[in-house]
């Protein structure tokens, strides 16, 4: 811990040989900086990142008790010093007391210019999250996020809207804390329920909830909670009455230096035993039980009726690193998808959400839980074109007008959708296309693996570990993107390789059959080959990744996928021998 800054300004020195910057007129005091390392012991589940964040929330409550908390990953840093202020503007603006967090987009550095594996995630950060902003607010994505401390403590917002009826069209406003102006009439047709006591245990008065059962046995922590709530209020709350609001400038008052007792208490709250028999990780703080703790933590807040805000600044607010190596990227996507499956099989599945969540927000959260399961259909989709080439049977009996019209309509809709997304969000076509490609790559490798892993956890109780994303080391003199070309074998690569092999063999078989058949049906072939090719171009970045820099692929990869492709092809011949077999045998050169 750095010594807390003194209350008097400390001026720097003149420039000299050692110091090149003249700081004679600059106040060089540093804000309080504390490095915290929590206690970890064998036999105690440390609950990964969520556990780390909860330890931090508690120590900071005792040491500084800031009403707002910025959270960054270890591989992210501040890129725009004004970002915090932008976030605070939302929090302290009128109506800002309903905001639980302000999420900034994740931006990355050190990614290959081609963004081969869609690391920038442009569609997610510039289309989906921005769209969420029009609902109840974006999901929490784990980093670059300013929180309201009391929202993290599991309290409800001061006011909330409940959505009743089919699709949640009927709205009901509820006051969850003491109304400040009870006489004030609500405008509009919306019904008003004043103060509801005991509606839900969440909604009792804030002070009466300070039970050690919930937050643990630290008195200083309990005492800090109402203070944080008060400090987080709007400067001008209650439309003019300054009684409830926080006086202007009160956040700028210098803090008392820490005494030994405070430090001792801070150490107490990061001990292993502290969370025993409390609600930390269950209702309070970052929520345990999923490797994507971020989504769950944000979901719980939205579920209580809080809103969040998406804040995109002109200059990136924060920047971080992302894995540019194929294997690392697949493992990252695997972890995310596994987290989603965990959410799907838990009480955090959006079908159990409360009335305080908007209908479309529910749909969006439901999608977060279910998307890995769509990989089953995606896998079928990738093998179907090959199947039709092997059998000589096209997906439809013949290329009829009806089929072509449907195909045209679907293709047009897809293009229009893409156009809309691109025009609206300002991402490039390249970014969009990379995203499409990586969706298929992840969808045929990491997503089905996540479904299996998730089922294993649910059925057999096998725990899922949080494998850290490999952080690239840039200190060597190698060239910038050496990581990109590194080929590290992973089991996740088997299905996409199999898909590629099967489709390529299928194209060859299809072409051969048509060439040697008595009445070649070229239109059928073109149809079939087109869909196979469509699958293959999606997998192109993946194929490139396998090649490494010099086109070296571990032999095992070829052996296994070759084996699998042959088995599948043979199986097919056994199940239904191609009808044109005789023609092959009969064929003779003239």
Ligand X SMILES: O=c1ccn([C@@H]2O[C@H](COP(=O)(O)OP(=O)(O)O[C@H]3O[C@H](CO)[C@@H](O)[C@H](O)[C@H]3O)[C@@H](O)[C@H]2O)c(=O)[nH]1
Q: Which residues bind Mn ion (CB under 5 A)?
A: 75, 469
Tell me which of 54, 60, 268, 332 binds ligand X, using CB under 6 A: 332
> Taking contact as CB under 6 A, which single stretch among the options 14-22, 153-161, 200-208, 290-298 is the one that binds ligand X?
290-298
**Pick 106 or 156: Cβ nearer ligand X:** 106
**Pick 318 or 572: Cβ nearer ligand X:** 318
Contact indicator for 397, 516 with CB cutoff of 8 Å: no
Task: Supply 369's token pair.
Answer: 């839980």
The terminus-to-terminus CA distance of the chain in angstroms comes to 89
**Pick 320 or 448: Cβ nearer ligand X:** 320
Q: Rounded to the nearest whole angstrom, what is the least distance from the CB of residue 319 to ligand X in the complex?
A: 12
Q: Rounded to the nearest whole angstrom, what is the least distance from the CB of residue 79 to ligand X in the complex?
A: 15
**Pick 324 or 502: Cβ nearer Mn ion:** 324
Q: At what angle do helices 429-444 and 326-344 cross, to 10 degrees?
A: 70
- Total residues binding ligand X (CB under 6 A): 18
Q: Rounded to the nearest whole angstrom, what is the least distance from the CB of residue 125 to ligand X in the complex?
A: 12
Q: Rounded to the nearest whole angstrom, what is the least distance from the CB of residue 328 to Mn ion in the complex?
A: 10
Angle (CA) 283-205-234 rounded to 5° is 90
Residue 48, marked binder: yes
**Pick 156 or 472: Cβ nearer Mn ion:** 472
Residue nearest Mn ion, Cβ-based: 75
**Pick 75 or 112: Cβ nearer Mn ion:** 75
* Partner whose footprint covers residue 291, from Mn ion, ligand X, none (CB < 5 to 8 Å by kind): ligand X
Closest CA to 277 of 200, 221, 220, 215: 215
Binders of ligand X among residues 7 to 66 (CB under 6 A) are: 48-49, 52
Q: Rounded to the nearest whole angstrom, what is the least distance from the CB of residue 469 to ligand X in the complex?
A: 3
DSSP 27: B
What residues pair up with 280 in beta bridges, in sequence order? 284
Instruction: Specify burial of residue 128 (Cβ count, 10 A radius: 0-12, 13-18, 19+).
Output: middle
The 468-507 site mask, x for binding ligand X (CB under 6 A), equals xx--------------------------------------
**Pick 469 or 490: Cβ nearer Mn ion:** 469
* Partner whose footprint covers residue 74, from Mn ion, ligand X, none (CB < 5 to 8 Å by kind): ligand X
Say which residue the tokens 């199947």 belong to: 387
Backbone torsions φ then ψ of 320, nearest 5 degrees: -150, -170
Q: Rounded to the nearest whole angstrom, what is the least distance from the CB of residue 362 to ligand X in the complex?
A: 22
Closest CA to 106 of 129, 131, 88, 134: 129
Residue 49, marked binder: yes
Q: Rounded to the nearest whole angstrom, what is the least distance from the CB of residue 143 to ligand X in the complex?
A: 4
Residue 16, marked binder: no
Task: Supply 445's token pair.
Answer: 């490798």
Query: b/e string for 268-295 if b means 16 or more Cβ within 10 A?
Result: bbbebebbeebbbbebbbbbbbbbbbbb
Calpha distance 143→74 (Å, rounded)? 9
Calpha distance 6→28 (Å, rounded)? 11
Q: Rounded to the nearest whole angstrom, what is the least distance from the CB of residue 55 to ligand X in the complex?
A: 10
Tell me which of 336, 344, 390, 481 binds ligand X, using CB under 6 A: 336
**Pick 20 or 35: Cβ nearer ligand X:** 35
> Taking contact as CB under 6 A, which single stretch among the options 164-172, 239-247, 332-340, 552-560 is the one that binds ligand X?
332-340
**Pick 484 or 500: Cβ nearer ligand X:** 484
Contact indicator for 97, 116 with CB cutoff of 8 Å: no
Helix-then-strand count for the chain, H and E: 20, 10
Q: Rounded to the nearest whole angstrom, what is the least distance from the CB of residue 471 to ligand X in the complex?
A: 7
Binders of ligand X among residues 61 to 80 (CB under 6 A) are: 73-75
Closest CA to 331 of 473, 483, 467: 467
Alpha helices by DSSP H, listed for 461-578, are 494-516, 522-538, 540-547, 555-575
Task: Supply 119's token pair.
Answer: 């690391």
**Pick 75 or 244: Cβ nearer Mn ion:** 75
Binders of ligand X among residues 105 to 144 (CB under 6 A) are: 142-143
Angle (CA) 559-541-382 rounded to 5° is 70
* Partner whose footprint covers residue 52, from Mn ion, ligand X, none (CB < 5 to 8 Å by kind): ligand X
Contact indicator for 246, 230 with CB cutoff of 8 Å: yes
Calpha distance 486→546 (Å, rounded)? 9
Q: Rounded to the nearest whole angstrom, what is the least distance from the CB of residue 320 to Mn ion in the complex?
A: 6
Residue nearest ligand X, Cβ-based: 142
Binders of ligand X among residues 529 to 568 (CB under 6 A) are: none
Tell me which of 294, 421, 431, 483 binds ligand X, using CB under 6 A: 294
Tell me which of 63, 92, 291, 546 binds ligand X, using CB under 6 A: 291
> Taking contact as CB under 6 A, which single stretch among the options 29-37, 267-275, 311-319, 333-341 is the one that binds ligand X?
333-341
**Pick 390 or 438: Cβ nearer ligand X:** 438
DSSP 461: -
Contact indicator for 310, 133 with CB cutoff of 8 Å: yes
Q: Rounded to the nearest whole angstrom, what is the least distance from the CB of residue 302 to ligand X in the complex?
A: 18
DSSP 396: S
Q: What are the C-alpha distances in Å from 569 to residues 166, 388, 503, 564, 587?
A: 50, 12, 11, 9, 22
Binding residues for Mn(2+): 49, 73
The residues that touch ligand X, with contacts defined as CB under 6 A, are 48-49, 52, 73-75, 142-143, 291-292, 294, 332, 335-336, 339, 466, 468-469
Please give the annotated binding residues for UDP-alpha-D-glucose, written as ranges.
Answer: 48
From the annotation, which residues make up the binding site? Answer: 48-49, 73
């Amino acid at each position: 811990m750095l010594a807390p800054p003194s209350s008097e300004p400390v001026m720097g020195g003149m420039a000299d040989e050692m110091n090149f910057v003249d700081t004679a007129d600059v106040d060089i005091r540093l804000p309080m900086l504390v490095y915290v390392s929590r206690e970890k012991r064998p036999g105690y589940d440390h609950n990964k990142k969520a556990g780390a964040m909860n330890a931090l929330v508690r120590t900071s409550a005792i040491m500084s008790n800031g009403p707002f908390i910025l959270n960054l990953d270890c591989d992210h840093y501040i890129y725009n010093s004004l970002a915090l202020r932008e976030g605070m503007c939302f929090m302290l603006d009128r109506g800002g007391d309903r905001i639980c967090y302000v999420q900034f987009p994740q931006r990355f550095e050190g990614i290959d210019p081609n963004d081969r594996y869609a690391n920038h995630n442009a569609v997610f950060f510039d289309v989906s999250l921005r769209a969420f902003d029009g609902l109840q607010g974006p999901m929490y994505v784990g980093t670059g996020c300013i929180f309201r401390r009391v929202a993290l403590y599991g309290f409800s917002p001061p006011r909330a809207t409940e959505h009743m009826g089919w699709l949640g069209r009927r709205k009901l406003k509820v006051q969850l804390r003491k109304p400040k102006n009870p006489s004030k009439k609500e405008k509009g047709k919306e019904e008003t329920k004043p103060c509801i006591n005991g509606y839900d245990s969440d909604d009792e008065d804030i002070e009466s909830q300070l039970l050690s059962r919930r937050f643990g046995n630290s008195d200083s922590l309990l005492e800090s909670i109402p203070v944080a709530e008060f400090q987080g209020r709007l400067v001008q709350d209650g439309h003019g009455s300054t009684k409830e609001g926080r006086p202007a400038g009160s956040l700028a008052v210098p803090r008392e230096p820490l005494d030994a007792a405070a430090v001792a208490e801070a150490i107490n709250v990061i001990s292993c035993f502290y969370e025993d028999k409390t609600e930390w990780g269950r209702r309070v703080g970052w929520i345990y039980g999923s490797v994507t703790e971020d989504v769950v933590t944000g979901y719980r807040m939205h579920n209580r009726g809080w809103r969040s805000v998406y804040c995109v600044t002109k200059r990136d607010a924060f920047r971080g690193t992302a894995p540019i190596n194929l294997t690392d990227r697949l493992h990252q996507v695997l972890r995310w998808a596994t987290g989603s499956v965990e959410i799907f099989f838990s009480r955090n599945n959006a079908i159990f959400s409360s009335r305080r969540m908007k209908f479309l927000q529910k749909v969006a959260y439901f999608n977060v839980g279910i998307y890995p399961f769509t990989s089953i259909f995606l896998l079928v989709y990738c093998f179907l074109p090959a199947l039709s080439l092997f059998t000589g049977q096209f997906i439809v009996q013949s290329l009829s007008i009806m089929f072509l019209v449907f195909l045209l309509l679907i293709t047009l809709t897809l293009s229009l959708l893409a156009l809309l997304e691109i025009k609206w969000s300002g991402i490039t076509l390249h970014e969009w296309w990379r995203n499409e490609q990586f969706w298929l790559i992840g969808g045929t490798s990491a997503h089905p693996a996540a479904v299996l892993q998730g089922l294993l956890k649910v059925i057999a109780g096998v725990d899922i570990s949080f494998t850290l994303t490999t952080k690239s080391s840039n200190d060597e003199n190698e060239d910038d993107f050496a990581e990109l070309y590194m080929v590290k074998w992973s089991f996740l690569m088997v299905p996409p390789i199999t898909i590629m092999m099967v489709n390529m063999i299928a194209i060859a078989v299809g072409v051969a059959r048509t060439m040697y058949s008595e009445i070649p049906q070229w239109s059928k072939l073109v149809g079939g080959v087109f869909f196979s090719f469509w699958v293959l171009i999606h997998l192109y970045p993946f194929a490139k990744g396998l090649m490494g820099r010099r086109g070296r692929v571990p032999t095992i990869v070829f052996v296994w996928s070759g084996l699998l492709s042959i088995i599948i092809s043979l199986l097919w011949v056994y199940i239904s021998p191609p009808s044109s077999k005789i023609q092959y045998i009969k064929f003779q050169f003239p």
